Structure 1
Amino acid sequence: MALLLGVDTGGTYTDAVIIRDERDVIASAKALTTRQDLAIGVGGAVQAVLAQSGIAAGDIALASLSTTLATNALVEGQGGRVALIYIGFRESDLEKHGLLDALKGDPSVVLDGGHNHAGGEAAPLDENGLRAFLAAHGAGVGGFAVASQFATRNPAHELRAMALVAEITGRPVSASHQLSAKLNGPKRAMTAVLNARLIGMIDRLIGRAEDTLSDLGVTAPLMVVRGDGALISSAQARERPIETILSGPAASIVGARWMTGADLALVSDIGGTTTDVALLKDGRPAIDPAGARVGPYRTMVEAVAMRTTGLGGDSEVHFLTEGLHGGVVLGPRRVLPISLVAVDAPEVVHRALDSQLRSTLPSEHDGRFVRAVAGQTMEGIGTREQALLDRIGDAVHPLGDVLRSRIEHGALKRLIERGLVQVAGVTPSDASHVLGTAEAWDAEAAEKALTLFGRRRTGSGDRLANDPAMMAKIIVDQLEQQTALALLETAFAEEEVGYGLEPDVLARHVLMQRGLGGHSELVRLETGLAVPVIGLGASAGTYYPAVGTRLGCEMILPEHAGVANAIGAVVGRVTMREVGTVTSPSEGKFRVHLTEGPQDFGNEDEALASLETVLRKRALSAAQAAGAEDIQISVTQDVRTAHVESRDVFVEAEITVEASGRPRVAS
């Protein structure tokens, strides 16, 4: 009998499950995610599930972790401070391809160097410029990203830059050719920047999780879920944390299939920060060929084809000032629910809310609080940010008591983006406490905060809501509406029929929305989803039945929907893919592009065989390092030719080797 432990760290809750022989869930538990030290939440969930099951920690044969930490960080614009070394490209590429937005003011340098499409050096690497940049910025960042032109054809300049970074700064470095074998330098650069930004965060999570499991007596090896649903070792995840984006959502897809056996369905997982929607077809999730998209960023990471929206139980509620009737919109940023922060600091929160309710001069900061997040790295923060942090200290404060001038709003925003500060405000979780569909936290504080929110005046001069229950209903209705739109957008994106409009436009189109309401006058319109929806997440049972009604579809809510991610974390397989390319720079010459540099052959078959041998060895070694056993290897070749003067001429070939097996369990 094998006992498997699955853990998922979400934005609000950390879940744990124990599964016996990959067949039965014998126990599940939740604990609050503790951002200041994620190990506290992990330990709480694991202790609870062990106690519930009566199983000794030493009997666990395999532990696996999925996490939305990387996804949430990118959606919310958080992470460590990094620097980009951009070799062989133009300065204008930084803005053109969105790299400046991704850097968020972090330093970058554009240097001479790089290679051509055949792997030949286009220009010598500007080492003097690189050394000067490292000397100037090495102490002010947590890591470096390196991207060189055509590095997947010849990584020599990236390798040299990595060596200099290590020699001069000692900081971790993410090289684009190690994260993707595909062309498209700017996109590889984006992937390297995001990887560098996540390294410290994911490293701390995995390290603390391993320490916590060890302290509890769990001696089994720890696996981590990758963005495509496959499992990797904790060491591999620490080196390439970017591969854990969409880890939690991918695990939820694996868990949904395991729980329901569904072959065709939309899977929608609502967490505290995001709603993730994917299509399950023939029992399998599709892999996004263009690379994972999270928030505004498109990466080159292989991941489940999924639409991630900044919409969850802890999404910030914004007041809409346009129009006569007013309204609200949710997300994309997560805030601490008032009902939750009131549990941590009841006297501060209730005293402030009571004072604000008595005031006849409403403030934009009413019902909002702020606190610092301990244990975060502080590289590169400015004097204004440091002064604000010092003022906040280690206590919870009403936001209006901390911000003393308009200029400090920018400092607060930067601290939030760095993950150094959390803001509390009104969320759907608070609305659920007011309506009685949730009761974990402080419902009285939620009522006061929603009363304050409802006092805002619409364009007609009326209050947005006359009482907290009415305000709560407005918020929940909006959550259901935005969830329905997210599902429709995914469905339209997956449709093979072209409509000539983008999925988000189609989902919001007046005919689509009228059809959902059953419009029937001179024209009868009926629209909706034609496939079932599997609703996952702790709050799915609260919100999703109404979403199914809106969309006219079957809503499946599995028994263990609230811990689907933790289930998927431990029932997946180890899968390692290695991809390589053969080109023909001139007639009769076949060039194999390897990490060590290009190698030339005089025969096509020899070149392909040599590349396949190298890729097989790498994929097998990576799968073994991840802890796989009974490994199976599959090979696919994509050889592209051109028909010239009545004969086929070799142009390029791509070989993909996949090594897959179940993770080895401890005896």
Structure 2
Amino acid sequence: MAFRLGIDTGGTYTDAVLVDDQQQVVATYKSLTTRYDLTIGIDNALSGLPAEMMTDITLVSLSTTLTTNSVVEGQGAPVCVLLPGYNERQIAQSGLLDIVTDEGAVLLTGGHDANGDESEPLDEAAARNAILALKDKVSAFAISAMFGTRNTSHEVRLRTLVEELTGKPVACGHELASSLGAPQRALTAVLNARMVPYIQRLISSVKEILSHHQIVAPLMIVKGDGSLVNTDTALQQPVATVLSGPAASVVGACALSGLKNTIVADMGGTTTDIAIVSNGQPELCSEGARVGDWQPMVEAVRVYSVGLGGDSEIHYSTAEGIGIGPRRVVPMCLLGHQYPWVLERLEHQLNDYPNARNNRFVMRLEANEVLLNQLGEHERYAWERLADGPIELEAAVMEDRNLGRSLAKLQRAGLAIYSGFTPSDVAHVLGLSKHWSTDTANLAAKVWAKQLRNLYGMGKWELGDAKEPCREVYQLIVTKISTTLVEAGLHQAGKLSEARAQNLAGLLTELIFNSEQEPGAGALFNLDFAADYPLVAVGAPSASYYPVVADMLGTELILPEHGNVANAVGAVMGSVVQRAKVTISQPTYGAFSLYHKGEPKRFSNLQEAEHCAEQIVREEALKAALAAGAASVEVVISKEENHITHDIDGDLFLDSEVIATATGRPDCRALVLNAKGDSETSVDISHDVGTDLASASDASSRYNIH
């Protein structure tokens, strides 16, 4: 029997699953993600699967939350963005300077107008100087020209310059988004460039481990819309894998539950991701998916992603008192599980006077060569010290203040990570989880509670009590999850702005809680939440929190079998989907412009423009789908038009977008070695992975709670 191998590389765990031809999960394994060397965690996950099943793999598909997490946490490789035709106001509006240095945001003369005509000639000399000055300081380049979607010539010329002068990865705005909105398109290009090293490392690691396990099969990656692409396409547009993990979890949750109408909530290590599925289809957000504080122009499953996961730091917040996330830290229970000597140091911290560095140990996280090459003497020394294992931050400060400051700099640069008190620790203290060190979690809770009382005057917990502060934090987490679910429901209604939905969600959550706790008590409001949409909760921490969430909201809960590896299951359930879009506008009455690469095409007849557009998008979508790894591709053409009613001219065409959607199953033709291993034969072992997810799980296992 042939199997498909799904792999999900998350911030905390790397999961591996095997799915058979009947869409049944036949084996699963979880291993800790090793961010400093991804191959270790991936190898451990694959080694945990039955060896006899690993000899006949027809497809390997990968989902990841690493790109999502990097956006939410504000991490990423250093990049330079070249901006022909932009001005200072647009840079400030885009938020680029929050993720790119002042030096790295390069304004250039150039750009085009709304009709695709050149506004000013491109200043190639200034561009060349900027590229040469920054090439050794950045990992990649991003390019976004004013009205670059109406005329791509300046972006294309700059990409050629970057490739000639540096050989480093380049992300162009016109290749990532077809919509107008220059600041958001520039942000999309920058996020894409920042993610290139993450995806390169991940793909390289997976390929190395597949070779080690002698698995020869096509390798696909889940995009943010739940579809699949091959590795070459993913390397060109890694920003498309933002929300890869959440999209895969939605597909996997639907497959495992067999439901067509549901709310999917995936609680991972860094984020909680919520999506609403109606009639078997998750809603897509064509205007761009919001991830943390950012909204790149990436078509993806509409997911409400907040920085709340099992590894989210629980900390003092001036606004909330006790804050949860969005920063990810290593849970103390995991740290103590891996390094038992931490227990003794926590005992020392508990018996000493508290300070802001309590529960703080520092570990290596990433190994970005560009950043490492820029380290000063003290930071380099701190990096080398971390090779021996975690360093207690307080001990480092007492030993050498330069060492303490250098460790903090490494953490801010994304090269190192802190430990801290987290929801995973809370679950261990309260007996809801026990897979890591409960003793360490108890000590960390006591240290944290003492820190909050003595430093910030919070809490009335008895000294040395771990459970009571954890019960309080647990309730805060449940409330935050519930509020996010309600907010997702308000967004689905589409009646409120984002800010108003956030403000109203807290009030409605409280009213729903009261309705469930005191039904029929004479209240004027009696609210129900998602009466016809069961809540399907997946992800490793979900069993610790969602039973109480569902009870508080009064909604049906399903914790499906294999829900803790739903992302990896969803990774092998999708199809390849590629879209191509062309815009047609009527800048002056009776004149039509078609915008597609380089100079716009001009027409005097709308039908001729549309016919040309359909030919272009059909060819491009088909080509993209085949390049992304599809077989048996079908192409569907759609059109979205904007009209206005004019007093004199009547119905007046403004613009339209012609869209081709190409869909095909993954091409599972793999090169396999013959028995002697001395030649290669191309064998067609493709099969239809299917699109009807409802049949993916046996009804008898849908409602098991594990």
Structure-1-length-normalised TM-score: 0.93
- Of stretches 144-153 and 577-586 in structure 1, the one that deviates more from structure 2 is 577-586
Residues 28 and 563, structure 1, Cα contact 8 Å, conserved in 2: yes
Q: How does 1:627-646 map to 2 (within 5 A)?
A: 627-644=629-646, 645-646=648-649
SS of the aligned residue for 2:370 comes to coil
Tell me the CA shift for residue 575 of structure 1: 0.5
1:355 maps to which residue? Answer: 348
Deviation at residue 413 of structure 1 after TM alignment: 5.6
Maintained 8 Å contact 1:77/1:417: no
SS at match of 2:50: helix
Correspondence for 1:574 among 573, 576, 580: 576
Letter aligned with residue 661 of structure 1? G
Partner of 1:332: 326
Q: RMSD over aligned Cα, in angstroms?
A: 2.4
Residues 39-438 of structure 1 aligned to structure 2 (within 5 Å): 39-51=39-51, 54-55=52-53, 57-103=54-100, 107-319=104-316, 328-347=322-341, 349-359=342-352, 361-373=353-365, 375-379=367-371, 381=374, 383=376, 385-386=379-380, 388-390=382-384, 392-403=386-397, 415-438=410-433
- CA 1:322 to 1:264, structure 2 compared with 1: closer, same or farther past 3 Å? closer
Identity %: 38
Mapped contact 1:322–1:459 kept (Cα < 8 A): no
Residues 171 and 261 of structure 1: is their aligned pair in 2 closer, same or farther, counting only changes over 3 Å? same
Query: Is the 2:311–2:331 Cα contact (8 Å) retained in structure 1?
Result: yes
Could you tell me which amino acid in structure 1 is paired with residue 527 of structure 2? T
What secondary structure sits across from 1:269 in the alignment?
Answer: strand
1:566 CA drift (Å): 0.7
- Note closer, same or farther for the CA distance 1:606–1:425 as it changes in structure 2 (3 Å cut): same
Confirm or deny: 8 A CA contact 1:5 1:63 kept in the other structure.
yes
SS at match of 1:611: helix
Cα separation, partners in 2 of 1:410 and 1:554, compared to 1, 3 Å: farther
Kindly indicate whether residue 446 of structure 2 is the aligned counterpart of residue 485 of structure 1.
Answer: no
Confirm or deny that 1:660 pairs with 2:663. Answer: yes
Whole-angstrom distance in 2 between the partners of 1:196 and 1:500: 28
Residue 402 of structure 1 aligns to a residue in which SS?
Answer: helix
Q: CA deviation at 1:145?
A: 0.8
- Structure 1 portions without partners, runs of 5+: none
Contact 2:349 2:358 in 1 (8 A): yes
Tell me: CA distance 1:104–1:460, structure 2 relative to 1, closer, same or farther (3 Å): same
Report if the CA contact (8 A) 2:286-2:298 is conserved. Answer: no
Shift of 1:574: 0.7
Q: Contact conserved, 2:461 with 2:468, CA < 8 A, in 1?
A: no
SS at 1:58 equivalent: coil
Task: Provide the C-alpha distance between the structure 2 equivalents of 1:408 and 1:194, rounded to a whole number of angstroms.
Answer: 32
1:35 paired to 2:35: yes
Is the 1:229–1:254 contact (alpha carbons within 8 Å) kept by the matching residues of 2?
Answer: yes
CA displacement, residues 597-641 of structure 1 (integer Å, 9 cap, x when unaligned): 322234322222122112111111111122212211100122334
1:505 and 2:503 aligned: yes
TM-score by length of 2: 0.88
In 1: Cα distance, 2:129 partner to 2:317 partner: 49
SS in 2 for 1:174: strand
Deviations 1:538-557 (A, max 9, x none): 22122111110111111111
How many pairs were matched up? 659
**Cα distance, 1:507–1:394 mapped onto 2, change above 3 Å:** same
Q: Which whole-Å CA distance do the structure 2 matches of 1:373 and 1:496 have between them?
A: 40
Alpha carbons of structure 1 residues 642 and 79: separation in structure 2 relative to 1, 3 Å: same
- Name structure 2 gaps, 5 residues minimum: 670-684, 686-706
Counterpart of 1:436 in structure 2: which amino acid?
A: G
- Partners of 1:373 and 1:421 within 8 A in 2: yes
1:317 aligns to what SS in structure 2? strand
> Residues of 2 paired with 1:529 and 1:37: CA distance?
43
| Native 8 Å contact 2:265 2:272 kept in 1 | yes
Equivalent residues of 1:79, 1:417 under 8 A apart: no
Contact 2:512 2:553 in 1 (8 A): no
Q: Is the 8 A contact 1:388 1:402 kept in 2?
A: no
Structure 2 distance, partners of 1:392, 1:460, is 34
1:637/1:131 Cα in 2 relative to 1: closer, same or farther (>3 Å)? Answer: same
Q: Which moved more, 1:405-414 or 1:92-101?
A: 405-414
Match of 1:442 in 2: 437
Match of 2:606 in 1: 604
Larger displacement relative to structure 2 (224-233 or 508-517): 508-517
- By how many angstroms is 1:501 displaced? 6.8
Are the structure 2 counterparts of residues 205 and 647 from structure 1 closer, same or farther at C-alpha, using a change threshold of 3 Å? same
- SS in structure 2 at match of 1:634: strand
Aligned amino acid, residue 482 of structure 1: K
Distance 2:484 2:319 in 1: 23
Which amino acid is the alignment partner of residue 73 of structure 1? S
